[in-house]
A and B are shown apart, each in its own frame.
Chain A
Amino acid sequence: MAVDDILEARGLNKAYGGLQAVRNCTFTVERGSITSLIGPNGAGKTTAFDLINGVVVPDSGQVIFDGVDVTGRLPHTLTRMGMSRTFQITRDLRDMTVLENMVVSSPARGWRTLVGTKVQRHEKDRAMDLLDFVGISHLAHTPADRLSYGQRKLLEFASVLMSDPKLVLLDEPAGGVNPALLERIIDRIQALNRSGITFLLVEHKIDMVMQLSHRVIVMAHGEVLAEGTPDEIQRNDMVLDAYLGKV
């Protein structure tokens, strides 16, 4: 692993039943970059995310995060180490307010103190700052189930920032959001990136990927098919063929 890589996937393998979802998957993410993982449906992108952030343990291979082998470590451990992740399907706690959702995402809270303890002043301030940053602080005291789909995406985006992550994994941040909101999400990702946070995205909105990313990793059939700058990927005929199903 080069000095400036924050993440390395090294020969990851994962099979579900007879299906090899991820096969000998190796790539690196440069510290300070916005890197995107793309590929046709079923390429193994979300499984790769699951393996990196400890939701699923690989059959073989390693995940190196910030110089440490973190293979098999649980997601909350990784969160405390500085890696956080959003999900394709937003998973907020709907009976709680937006602010409460933010606070339970704080890494200082173990599950014992997750609920039922008083919200600390600094937690609240931090949460309000982040809600303001994504533009939904006016909804802080609204129950999460009253939010629109796009607002829930923003809530989840804000909540992963509660742990002051070094690396944020975003699984389809633009899925199902309207163009105005998409602009805001892109803008916020870029602002955070300038402040030093590294991003790894899985995203299907290809124009967004190509505009935003420093590097693009293409997966097909569980393997890394190509890697490069957006321009290199756009000129790569193998990548186009993979998308069109010509293999």
Chain B
Amino acid sequence: MSALLELRDVRAGYGKGPDILQQVDLTIEEGRSACIIGPNGAGKSTLLKVVAGILSPRAGEILFRGEPVAGKRPDQLLRRGISYVPQERSVFPTMTVRENLNMGAYSLSDKSVVAERLERVLDMFPVLAERRNQLAGTLSGGEQQMLTLGRALMVKPALLMVDEPSLGLAPQVADLIFETLQHLDGSETTVLLVEQNAHRGLEAVQWGIVLDLGTKRFEGPANSILDDPRIRELYLGTRVGSAPEVAE
């Protein structure tokens, strides 16, 4: 395996605020899809934003296929093969499904390649194929999530980062999304997922990474990481023993 993405001592935050990521060291191996889990405020979404170029790191190095990419713009990163699906599900509501998908390929100039990619994505998402001429704004929440995924896949990214795909979706719909992500395993695309629903997210990938308070705590195979005793402490706090008394 070779490293697809490496973060070294990355620090990042918003505006004048405190560091949300503090010294994150992380390696994503090519072909080994991963899910980042951790309690609220761990810095999971911020990490994806930094890799996608939405937020510049305050310090540290980001290497993609060994080349430094920290501080590059999202479109430059997309051309290198980093695709990002943010939490806010943003389709172009007054454009058709097909037009939305083609927008995902704006960085490609060869029309025949775009047409071939469109067919491939429509094969992956039969629902989108059925609705290819429908306005995206008329799709259900789950269909819109598939559309944003499909749009991100139009460039055949080497790295597909998805932030909380199950957010606000009914369980059965979320299952469909995770199945699709799982099917990308073994393709040219490595998935990096952030998911609040740790069980679901980890089922779809091979590797689990636990983030807390802006640093990586530990990592391991996705199917066993939740058995680690440190997980309980992370989500339910350092053990306190007996409770203080209510003052009279």
Contacts and interface: CB of A to CB of B under 8 A. Distances in A.
- Residue in A30, A177, A244 whose Cβ sees the most chain B Cβ within 10 Å: A244
Chain B interface size band reads 20 to 34
Chain A interface size band reads 35 or more
Contacts of B247: 32, 193-194, 196
A193 B247 CA distance: 8
B41 interface: yes
Nearest to A204: B40
Interface stretch (B96-104, B128-136, B238-246): B238-246
Task: Report whether over half of chain B's contact residues are helix, strand or loop; otherwise say mixed.
Answer: loop
B235 A243 contact: yes
Interface stretch (B49-57, B70-78, B153-161, B194-202): B194-202
Contacts, number: 82
B196 A210 contact: no
B238 A210 contact: yes
Contact of A210 (B198, B199, B231, B236): B236
B237 interface: yes
Contacts of A177: 18
A87 interface: no
Contact of A234 (B195, B198, B200, B232): B232
Contacts of A234: 232, 236-237, 239-240
A125 interface: no
A146 B144 CA distance: 40
Contacts of A207: 237-238
B110 interface: no
A214 B232 CA distance: 20
B196 A40 contact: yes
B226 interface: yes
Interface stretch (A68-76, A134-142, A159-167, A225-233): A225-233
- Residue in B40, B168, B196, B238 whose Cβ sees the most chain A Cβ within 10 Å: B40
B17 A244 contact: no
- Give 3 closest A-B pairs by Cβ, nearest first: A245-B197, A229-B243, A210-B237
Given A214-B245, A234-B236, 16 more contacts: A42-B168, A175-B41, A176-B17, A178-B18, A204-B40, A209-B237, A211-B240, A213-B243, A233-B236, A234-B237, A234-B240, A240-B236, A244-B226, A245-B199, A245-B200, A246-B199
Interface of A: 30, 32-33, 40-42, 148-149, 175-178, 193-194, 196, 204-207, 209-211, 213-215, 229-231, 233-234, 239-240, 243-246
